[in-house]
């Protein structure tokens, strides 16, 4: 299997959000890619600019990022031609590697805008090199710029950042320096097309947590009523385990719970409620072992939640009596 490191540069409506084409808020102007083999050695490159068809002048932010290159873009081939060549170039057996999660959704949106069928597996798994860098060098949560990572790893800087090809090239060099044996299980899931059927639901197990991606539901309540979403399996042995603290909301978009495996101890669960493009929602549920301190934090949050509910109930009763 090869790795295809990609980076896109895009433009947006120069006259403001209310004048944009809602089907294509970001129009791709450049595709840069580097192909690496299994040993992460560079074996091929792809670099091409695209002729703009929707937004014919550059947004000021686009100019800041990629410079005054409108004439260069205008002299390029249209997106469908470039995209077809790019997809052919990718080949059959490859995994995308990207700096951050934002490029793959835009690639898919642009393809669908031109009615080009998406040739990607569903769900689409990829490597987020920005996240991998954080997992190895920092706390796994911080997100750094590509330039930061290049400086951190003392990679020689000899071409400017934010030209699609240069960025993919630097991303490839960062990828080459990471400890791949440790990191290669950390696949990311692209959520542009979330699972729509039970068969497409996804369960991934990493070194220190498991992740489940549910199919889409009409709304949050329907989703949280499905046992398939709320059940907790032990992170270690996979057995269904009892919830000591049942799921409770910690924000509009998040739930927490705590469960106990008789053999492997306390574990904490988190459900993130994600919006699907058509207004539906789906769940991303993660389970990990909870340290005693973490268990205390969840207990305290649960107490605060129960207090809030009691207060609301009392206020409602008071109003009903008034
Ligand atoms: Zn267990």
Look over the chain and give the mean of its residue pLDDT values, rounded to a whole number. 92
CA-CA distance, 177 to 34, in Å (whole number)? 16
- pLDDT tens digits for 193-204? 999 999 999 999
Residue 162's pLDDT is 65
Question: b/e map of 297-315 (b: 16 or more CB within 10 Å)?
Answer: ebeeebeeeeeeeeeeeee
CA-angle at 39, arms to 33 and 43, nearest 5°: 40
Asked which of 67-76, 218-227, 244-253 is least confident by mean pLDDT, the reply is 67-76
- Classify residue 150 by burial, with Cβ atoms within 10 Å: 0-12, 13-18, 19+: buried
Where exactly does CATH 3.30.420.10 map onto the chain?
A: 2-183
pLDDT above 90 (res 120): yes
CA of 197 to the centre of ligand 1 (A): 28
More confident residue, 277 or 205: 205
Q: Percentage of residues in the chain with pLDDT exceeding 90?
A: 75
More confident residue, 64 or 188: 188
Asked which of 37-41, 100-104, 204-208 is least confident by mean pLDDT, the reply is 204-208
Phi and psi, residue 101, nearest 5° = -90, 5
What is the CATH T-level fold of the domain 2-183, as seen in this structure? Answer: Nucleotidyltransferase; domain 5 (3.30.420)
Question: b/e map of 271-289 (b: 16 or more CB within 10 Å)?
Answer: bebbebeeebbbbbbbbbb
CA of 232 to the centre of ligand 1 (A): 11
CA of 66 to the centre of ligand 1 (A): 51
CB-based neighbours (< 5 A) of ligand 1, an ion: 234, 236-237, 261, 263-264
pLDDT above 80 (res 161): no
Binned at pLDDT 50, 70 and 90, residue 122 comes out as confident
* CA-CA-CA-CA torsion sign (131, 184, 45, 73): negative
CA of 206 to the centre of ligand 1 (A): 15
CA of 288 to the centre of ligand 1 (A): 11
CA of 155 to the centre of ligand 1 (A): 43
Residue 156's pLDDT is 87
pTM score of the predicted model = 0.85
């Amino acid at each position: 299997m090869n790795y295809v490191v990609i980076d896109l540069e895009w433009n947006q409506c120069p006259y403001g959000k209310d004048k944009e084409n809602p089907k294509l808020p970001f129009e791709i102007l450049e595709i840069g890619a580097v192909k690496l083999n299994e040993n992460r050695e560079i074996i091929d490159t792809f670099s091409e600019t695209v002729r703009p068809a929707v937004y014919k002048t550059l947004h000021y932010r686009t100019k800041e990022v990629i410079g005054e290159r409108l004439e260069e873009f205008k002299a390029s081939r249209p997106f469908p031609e470039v995209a077809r060549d790019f997809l052919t170039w990718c080949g059959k057996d490859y995994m995308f590697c990207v700096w951050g999660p934002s490029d793959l959704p835009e690639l898919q949106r642009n393809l669908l805008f031109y009615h080009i069928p998406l040739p990607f597996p569903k769900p689409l798994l990829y490597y987020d090199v920005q996240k991998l860098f954080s997992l190895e060098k920092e706390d796994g949560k911080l997100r750094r710029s590509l330039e930061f990572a290049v400086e951190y790893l003392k990679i020689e800087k000899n071409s400017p950042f934010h030209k699609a090809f240069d960025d993919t090239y630097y991303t490839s060099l960062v990828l080459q320096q990471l400890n791949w044996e440790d990191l290669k299980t950390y696949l990311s899931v692209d959520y542009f097309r979330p699972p729509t059927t039970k068969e497409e639901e996804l369960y991934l197990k990493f070194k220190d947590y498991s992740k489940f991606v549910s199919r889409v539901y009409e709304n949050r309540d329907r989703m949280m009523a499905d046992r398939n979403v709320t059940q907790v399996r032990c992170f270690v042995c996979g057995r269904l385990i009892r919830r000591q603290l049942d799921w409770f909301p910690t924000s509009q978009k998040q739930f927490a719970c705590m469960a106990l495996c008789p053999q492997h101890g306390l574990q904490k669960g988190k459900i993130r409620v994600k919006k699907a493009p058509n207004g539906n929602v789906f769940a991303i549920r993660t389970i990990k072992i909870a340290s005693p301190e973490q268990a205390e934090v969840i207990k305290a949050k649960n107490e605060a939640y129960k207090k809030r509910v009691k207060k609301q109930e009392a206020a409602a009763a008071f109003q009903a009596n008034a």
